[in-house]
Structure 1
Amino acid sequence: MKKIIVAIDSFKGCLTSTEANQAASEGILAKMPEAKVVQVPVSDGGEGWLGAFKAAMGGSIVEVNVKDPLMRPIVAQYLIQGDTAVIEIAKASGLTLLKPEERNPMVATSYGTGQLIVDAVRRGCKHIIVGLGGSATSDCGIGMLRAIIDSFAKGKSWDDVRELDNVRFTIATDVTNPLCGENGAAFVFAPQKGATPEMVEALDARAKRFAEASAKHLGRDCQNAPGAGAAGGLGYAFLQYMNAECRSGIDLLLDTIHFDDLLQDADLVITGEGSADRQTLMGKLPFGILQRARKQNVPVMLIAGRIADEQFLLDAGFSHVACINPPGIPLEIAMQPATANENIRRAVSFSARNSRILRNSL
């Protein structure tokens, strides 16, 4: 009996990781009914982070009344297991909470993320794991810090906050950018959040001023630390003000679910994402899975809705690369969940039986 692990990232705006995994599993079992299929919901810190950890470690989902990026009231969720909380910042401060015409990183705030942290601390959490991805903000975490000060120091200053002294923070991101400069949060990420070139310049200048003031006040400077530029500078706020540990999102999740143990008797791993190209090899989720699997000589099949640089991906170690969509399909059709489900099933069903990619080929 063949053991196949399915660990596919979400197809953003289309399918969750769980939904994509289920479609792939159905495709495998249609041709290989005797196979043992292990589904692993995954995320690198963005969309699906909360669900992936819920599947991995159990716990309870907590709902909190918070502010969205434009300070409108919403209900956001996070996970508690024992004294550990898992927060997906996109639940409170995400780009998907805004309509395209509402996107403006000059005003969008991370205040709601701070409210989630406050709630977790008040419930006794001592370790807070934060997935940094999908933010609508470029405020360097100032909004988050303000929410914490408002709750724990009655609006005075960060120096008056004592409730976080015994709380450990781990931030998860595969972004290594610094806070400022041409590779920083504003220049690299703000345009996709609605920033004009003029806004980008203003946001970067604002970040530099905040970092300089913070360094002078705290006696250390984390603006160039890897991950400082993640989530519009939220990474910087966690590193500078909360002494957070920065981890690769996919590595943190794979360690939590003991992925290396799952691989020991596996014959194949199927992973994927919405669009795959050479940037997939720059720390994205499928590459993190590939690195783990190659150490145990388990072949990895990569599927995606769009494939570019196929030979580049094969040369990197993927045993098989498959585009789920037939040539010429309109994007609006391909993005429909029912269509994507069927195309994943069909692509995986064909590949599982017709390519010699299993560790011990059929």
Structure 2
Amino acid sequence: MKIVLAIDSFKGCLSSQEVEETFAGALQQQGAEVIALPMSDGGEGMLEAFISTLQGSFIDAPAHDPLMRPIRARYGRTADGMAVIETARTCGLTLMTAEERNPLLATTYGVGELIAHAIKQGCRNFIIGLGGSGTSDAGMGMLQALADIFTTNQKIEELPDSCLNECHFTLACDVRNPLYGPHGAAHIFGPQKGATPEMVCQLDERAKQFAQESARRMGKDLSQHPGAGAAGGLGYAFLQYFHTRMESGADLLLDLIHFDQQLKGADLVITGEGHADRQTLMGKLPERVLRHAQKQNIPVWLLAGQADDTAQLLEAGFAKVDSITPKEMPLEEALQAETAKRNIRKFIFEKLLSPT
């Protein structure tokens, strides 16, 4: 039996590669032919998945985290000079403790530093992953970093045309929210980043004012463009100021790896993520994998750390939907890497390979 693994990371627990290595080891013991394809929709694990696919290399650069503490952050570079940046490496929510999270203070400055570093390395084409941010600054921090590095007057409106106008950015993102308003970055994503109701209103107003100033300065307003609210408005800054196109992170990766070709001759596709529910059907990676496999009439199993809304997921076309984590296991224990690997192996031997 030929099985294709196309499983996203189990967020906060295992990378896509770690999940698939565990699955593959157990399945191969039973004689299955396994093809493991590291996955990401632009969030956690995006850098490794894309660089593995593009056969690139990693570069470590000095930068700052969301609270402007010095760090070393990694990005990728392909042989033909394309840079791959996972923005969460510098502005990610996980770079701060729960007590430190304050989107009024958190900045995307480090993202600008990584872009500047890549530009100095000769990169002009970029793939930018926008998932997992702990910021809501509408990308002002990123723009300020670029201004600080490339100009002497440190004004955002006078960015270095000589190099930035030559750059092209592809945003790997599945968020469709606008920059501000009731469905904007602050209202929808601010609370999970530590924003109180009062802070949400402040963040939304700050983003609106920045968009209005930017529109007057540039003669266009992309604040309501789908995806402008991604990563706390970082998507807006790219769309408004640079040569940018936005794509589904999942579709972008699946196209890059020629996923349809990888499916040829497969008997089964196994996809998954940390938590699957009805939102999985809103363009998340398992749903995109399903649509590709359906074109070739290949059954797709959705195996998640935790699966809810099973009936809806089955109705959407998945041949099997199941939870890997035992129901009685506390979440804190389930999120431990070694525990998660044991759960995967146990699930495969007891539920997937059982004669019953």
Q: TM-score range by the shorter chain?
A: over 0.9
Are residues 213 and 355 of structure 1, via their aligned partners in 2, closer, same or farther at CA, if it must alter by over 3 Å?
Answer: farther
Check if 1:68 corresponds to 2:68.
Answer: no
Which segments of 5 or more consecutive residues in structure 2 lack a partner in the other structure? none
Q: Secondary structure at the match of 2:190?
A: helix
Aligned position for 2:99: 101
Structure 1 residue 354 displacement after superposition: 5.0
**Distance in 2 between residues matched to 1:339 and 1:235, nearest whole Å:** 36
Equivalent residue letter for 2:8: D
77, 89, 101: which one pairs with 2:87?
A: 89
CA contact (8 A) 1:28 1:352 kept: no
Equivalent residue letter for 1:212: Q
Deviations 1:178-197 (A, max 9, x none): 11111110000011100000
Check if 1:168 corresponds to 2:165.
Answer: no
Aligned position for 2:311: 311
TM-score, structure 2 normalization:
0.96
Structure 1 residue 151 displacement after superposition: 1.0
Are residues 88 and 181 of structure 1, via their aligned partners in 2, closer, same or farther at CA, if it must alter by over 3 Å?
Answer: same
Q: Which moved more, 1:339-348 or 1:75-84?
A: 339-348
Structure 1 residue 29 displacement after superposition: 2.0
Aligned residues: 353
Are residues 36 and 197 of structure 1, via their aligned partners in 2, closer, same or farther at CA, if it must alter by over 3 Å?
Answer: same
Structure 1 residue 351 displacement after superposition: 4.6
Equivalent residue letter for 1:269: V
CA contact (8 A) 2:20 2:36 kept: yes
Check if 1:302 corresponds to 2:314.
Answer: no
**Distance in 1 between residues matched to 2:355 and 2:42, nearest whole Å:** 32
- 1:140-219 equivalences under 5 Å are 140-154=138-152, 155-162=154-161, 163-219=163-219
Check if 1:44 corresponds to 2:41.
Answer: yes
**Distance in 1 between residues matched to 2:156 and 2:8, nearest whole Å:** 40
CA contact (8 A) 2:303 2:323 kept: yes
CA contact (8 A) 2:87 2:133 kept: yes
Deviations 1:175-229 (A, max 9, x none): 0001111111000001110000000000000111011111111111111111100
Equivalent residue letter for 2:183: N
Aligned position for 1:255: 255
**Distance in 2 between residues matched to 1:308 and 1:8, nearest whole Å:** 17
Equivalent residue letter for 1:58: Q
Which segments of 5 or more consecutive residues in structure 1 lack a partner in the other structure? 357-362
Q: Secondary structure at the match of 1:244?
A: strand
Deviations 1:1-60 (A, max 9, x none): x21111211111111111110111122123x31x21011111111110000012101111
Aligned position for 1:333: 333
Deviations 1:77-126 (A, max 9, x none): 00001220000000011111111100000000000000000011111112
CA contact (8 A) 2:300 2:320 kept: yes
Aligned position for 2:53: 56
Structure 1 residue 355 displacement after superposition: 8.5
Aligned position for 2:320: 320
- 1:206-285 equivalences under 5 Å are 206-285=206-285
Equivalent residue letter for 1:222: L
CA contact (8 A) 2:146 2:159 kept: no
CA contact (8 A) 1:322 1:347 kept: no
Are residues 355 and 176 of structure 1, via their aligned partners in 2, closer, same or farther at CA, if it must alter by over 3 Å?
Answer: farther
Q: Which moved more, 1:3-12 or 1:330-339?
A: 330-339
Equivalent residue letter for 2:290: L
Check if 1:117 corresponds to 2:111.
Answer: no
**Distance in 1 between residues matched to 2:189 and 2:115, nearest whole Å:** 24
**Distance in 2 between residues matched to 1:271 and 1:228, nearest whole Å:** 28
Q: Secondary structure at the match of 1:38?
A: strand
CA contact (8 A) 1:128 1:170 kept: yes
Equivalent residue letter for 2:110: G
TM-score, structure 1 normalization:
0.95
110, 131, 134: which one pairs with 2:132?
A: 134
Are residues 11 and 186 of structure 1, via their aligned partners in 2, closer, same or farther at CA, if it must alter by over 3 Å?
Answer: same
